[in-house]
Amino acid sequence: MARPDDQRDVVARIGQAKALLAVDPRRAAALARTLPPTLEVRFLLGAALRRSGDAAAALEVLTPLAVARPGAWGPHYEQGMALAMLGRGTEAIAALERATAAEPRAALAWHALGDLYGMTDPARALEAQARLLPGSIGDAAFVQAVLAWIDTPGSATAEALRARFGVDFNDPAALRLLADVAVRERRDAAAKDLLTRAVAAAPRYAPARFHRAVLLFRLERFVEASAVLEPLLTAYVVAPPVRALHASALMSLGREPAAVEEFAAALAITPADARLWHAYGHALRSVGRQGDAVAAYRHAIAIEPQFGEAYWSLANLKTWRFAAEDVAAIRGLLGANTLGPDDRAHLHFALGKALEDAADYEPAFQEYQAGNAARRAATPYDAAAHSAFVQRSIATYSPAFFAERAAVGCAARDPIFVLGMPRSGSTLLEQILASHSQVEGLSELPDITALAAQVRGQGGDTYPQSLADLPPAAFAELANAYLERTRPRRQTDAPHFVDKFPGNFLHIGLIHLILPNARIIDVRRHPLACCVSLFKQGFAAGQGYSYDLADLGRYYADYVALMAHVDVVLPGRVHRVSYEALVDAPERELRALLEHVGLAFEPGCLAFFENERAVRTPSSEQVRQPIYRDGLDQWRHFEPWLEPLKAALGTLANSLAIRQ
């Protein structure tokens, strides 16, 4: 029989091991090995080994312990996490189900179980993680404690999380839970750090890797997202969310044919996923397989009859028309009270397009108004704030401002920026340029916007004035960052590439400073034609100004004012192309454009519609046809209802901006 002093010593050392578990699991494991192998000590050893990253050794200890203690949730949780860290997802789910059955209030076990369900069954994942338990993402006190730690990282706030909620920063499942809170509270930097730590601690723990890729994708870091997913693509062959995210990353990197294959692989596993069929339709459309895209969108609707966005995607095939039964189905859905606001908005736009195609213009316009009203209610837009930004830009961009920075930036000539208003012909112009042997089209890139956000983050709300505070070397660094970010999207050895994100006009000063030799093309379309096309487009996000005719007119006027100012302070820097002039005299406009870019004329540019490159914008079908005049005056069908737009445009309403 052990002496009392010996027993007290063992108890003390067990307490020491428990205390070390959260701060130094390796030492905790070493200490546990010196103790008598009771059930408690074996549990401590297994938990310490798992938190040290040795999941295989932990599993050897924990598996018999879970059998010996079927009613205790801890051994089953630790066993489940060890299995998950080894990539054995199905077995891990079974163990975590035993853990939550043994202790239904174990928030961390429920969250980890939901994470694993998320690989194969998103509905069950949501059910598992939506439980309102202490220490869960639905616990306001827990969320506040996590935010306090994020805002003031350190031993005090970390200890508060440990003491009150049992958070162990060595446990990848706990790091995932904290990252979930950070993501929901829009603390992206903290979420990225937590997920990076979780992946480093357990490289085969699929949920941490998957959610890190999700965050990177949302931050438009597509190369990194794809790289993070790579190990899961073979280990989790039955994980459609992984394949779907990988396909989306491939789309964003301009690898559309590969994305089509990846979406198809995901659908082979989960053929009843309407959202996946819809994404597959977009991929098919981008590579010119319109018939297959239509079939995919219709498949999505068959699975989810109220899927408004799928109807809008059909309508958004500009060369496609709804049948009478489609219109009846849309009317029936709009007449019901079962639609969510997003589906309802999409269906209004789809019905508007169907009625416009039938030359029933007044009710068509009413549907477009209804769709935009729904969008505006959900996404308020501050026109005054935007105008103030444009005025700050005009005030900042003086001749002296640019003269003082004449020697900054990078000398690279690779980029050709095609910018302006959306729906002005930028896709057509990119298709023409990309048909030249020396040019590759990369579509709409987010990278200038991301770099502007980086500068804005350094200067608060003073951008673009904050450009004046950057040291001279920073402009070349930003240019190199842009070229580095865009390099993975380039698939040919063409010396030039087109970045046709229209909103880059808002950062034209930044573009000029970082890449003074890059070419800038401003595509200009008749103000009423452009604005009406925008009003009909049904943008889901990013174009809040397009939901109201007066906001649209003001935004267009701000755009013209900014570009006119640039013409004065940087004469000749921007080459302007009139969409109408391009339609009327394509060869003349093309020759002038190529001369500005510094390229020789190639007849193939006039046969742009034969170019089989992937196109992801709403004009993807139109640019696969020869130039036609039919769309130039479509806006006139809606002229009786455009007074708010005309009033906001003022004298611009009847102007037709031509090339300088």
Question: Per-residue pLDDT tens for 251-310?
Answer: 988 889 999 999 999 999 889 999 999 999 999 998 889 999 999 999 999 999 999 999
Domain boundary among 137, 168, 184: 184
636 DSSP assignment: G
Decide: 421 and 502 in contact? Cβ < 8 Å: yes
**203 within some domain:** no
Contact indicator for 200, 175 with CB cutoff of 8 Å: no
Q: What Cα–Cα distance (Å) separates residue 41 from each residue in 32, 59, 76, 347?
A: 6, 15, 16, 62
The partner residues of 577 in beta bridges, in order of sequence, read: 523
Q: Report residue 620's pLDDT band, with 50, 70 and 90 as the boundaries.
A: very low
Average pLDDT over every residue of 508-521: 97
- Which whole number is the average pLDDT over 29-47? 91
609 and 510 fall within a common domain: yes
Q: How far apart are CA 209 and CA 235, in angstroms?
A: 12
CA angle at residue 264 from 261 to 269, to 5 degrees? 135
CA 557 to CA 554: how far, in whole Å? 5
Q: What is the pLDDT of residue 359?
A: 95
> Per-residue pLDDT averaged across 103-131, rounded?
90
Does residue 180 sit in the same domain as residue 250?
Answer: no
Cβ atoms within 10 A of the Cβ of 388, count? 12
In a domain? residue 649: yes
256-269 and 240-252 helices, crossing angle to 10°:
170
Distance (Å, rounded) from C-alpha 122 to C-alpha 417?
40
Q: What is the mean pLDDT of residues 390-408?
A: 96
Residue 623, pLDDT score = 47
CB atoms within 10 A of CB 511: 24
Average pLDDT score over residue span 26-32: 90
Res 141 pLDDT > 70: yes
pLDDT tens for each residue of 326-383: 999 999 999 988 898 999 999 999 999 999 999 999 999 999 999 999 999 888 899 9
Domain end call among 184, 200, 235: 184
What is the Cα–Cα distance from 228 to 525, expressed in whole angstroms? 42
Closest by CA to 51, choosing from 31, 84, 90, 22, is: 22
Residue 616: pLDDT over 60: no
The one-letter amino acid code at 341 reads P
Other CB atoms within 10 A of residue 275 CB:
15
Q: Indicate the SS3 state at residue 317.
A: coil
Identify whether residues 605 and 469 lie together within a single domain.
Answer: yes
143 and 272 share one domain? no
Compute the average pLDDT of residues 27-35: 90
Q: How many whole angstroms separate alpha carbon 465 and alpha carbon 392?
A: 7
Positive or negative: CA dihedral 66, 67, 69, 70: positive
- 522 and 419 in contact (C-beta within 8 Å)? yes
| Summary mean pLDDT of the chain | 90
Q: Determine, yes or no, domain membership for 453.
A: yes
Amino acid 549 reads L
Minimum mean pLDDT among 14-28, 38-52, 217-231: which range?
A: 14-28
- Please classify residue 314 by burial: count the beta carbons closer than 10 Å to its beta carbon, then call 0-12 exposed, 13-18 middle and 19+ buried: buried
Q: Which amino acid is at 17?
A: A
Report which residue type is found at 10: V
What residue has token string 């578990």? Answer: 21
Question: What are 458-502's pLDDT values in tens digits?
Answer: 655 689 999 999 999 999 999 999 999 999 889 899 999 999 999
Structural domain includes residue 493: yes
Q: What is the CATH number of the domain that holds 240?
A: 1.25.40.10
User: What is the CA angle 151-157-161, rounded to 5?
Assistant: 115
Name the DSSP letter for residue 495. Answer: S
Judgement on whether residues 373 and 398 belong to the same structural domain of the protein = no
**Residue 248 and residue 203: Cα distance in Å, rounded?**
22
Considering the domain architecture, whether residues 456 and 505 belong to the same structural domain is answered as yes
3-state class (DSSP) for residue 4: helix
pLDDT at 632: 75
Note whether 514 and 409 are within 8 A (CB).
yes
> What three-state secondary structure class fits 420?
strand
Given a cut of 90, whether residue 617 has pLDDT beyond it is no
Is 193 inside a domain boundary? Answer: no
Residues 554/548, Cβ–Cβ less than 8 Å: no
The parent domain of residue 619 ranges over 394-654
Characterize 34-49 residue by residue with b for buried, 16 or more Cβ atoms within 10 angstroms of its Cβ, and e for exposed. ebeeeeebbbbbbbbb
* Residues making up the chain, counted from first to last: 660
What is the rounded average pLDDT of the residues 130-158? 91
pLDDT computed for residue 660 by the predictor: 36
Does the residue 204 lie in any domain? no
417 and 335 co-located in one domain: no
Per-residue model confidence (pLDDT) at position 13? 84
Domain count, the chain: 3
CA dist 593 and 597 (Å) reads 6
pLDDT > 80? residue 38 = yes
What tokens appear for 499 in the block? 């970045």
Specify if 329 maps to a domain. yes
How far apart are alpha carbons 477 and 626 in whole angstroms?
41
Give the pLDDT score at 657: 46
Those residues whose C-beta lies under 8 Å from the C-beta of residue 622, and which sit 6 or more positions away, are 318, 319, 427, 428, 631
| Per-residue three-class SS string for 525-577 | CCHHHHHHHHHHHCCCCCCHHHHCHHHHHHHHHHHHHHHHHHHHHCCCCEEEE
227 Cβ contact partners less than 8 Å away, ≥ 6 residues apart: none
- Given 321, 346, 378, the domain boundary residue is 378
- Give the pairing of strands 496-499 and 519-524: unpaired
Is 275 in the same domain as 364? Answer: yes
pLDDT surpassing 60 at residue 522? yes
Q: Are residues 564 and 416 in the same domain?
A: yes
Cα(249)–Cα(214) distance, integer angstroms: 10
Is 229 within 8 Å of 260 (Cβ atoms)? no
445, 357: one domain: no
Domain membership of residue 61 (yes or no) is yes
Distance, CA of 21 to CA of 59 (rounded, Å): 17
Same structural domain, 44 and 110: yes
DSSP H stretches of helix in 103-221: 107-117, 122-129, 140-151, 155-165, 172-184, 188-201, 206-218
Dist. CA 350–CA 184, nearest whole Å: 32
Asked if residue 6 has pLDDT above 50, the reply is yes
CATH number at residue 553: 3.40.50.300
**Once rounded to an integer, what is the mean pLDDT over residues 575-584?**
92
Max intra-chain CA distance, the chain: 103
**How distant, in Å, are the alpha carbons of 186, 424, 528 from that of 579?**
40, 7, 13
Q: Which of 487, 446, 433, 652 is closest to 561 using CA atoms?
A: 652
- Give me the helix-helix angle, 308-315 and 324-334, nearest 10°: 140
| pLDDT for 609 beyond 80 | no
Give the integer Cα–Cα distance in Å for 240 and 117: 12
Q: What does the pLDDT average to over 573-584?
A: 93
**C-alpha distances in Å from residue 40, one per residue of 69, 99, 100, 104, 134:** 11, 17, 20, 21, 25
424, 319: one domain: no
Say if strands 519-524 and 415-420 run parallel, antiparallel, or are unpaired: parallel
Residue 612's pLDDT is: 57
The whole-angstrom separation of Cα 601 and Cα 583 is 18
Pairwise CA distance, residues 631 & 425, whole Å: 11
CA distance 233 to 242: 7
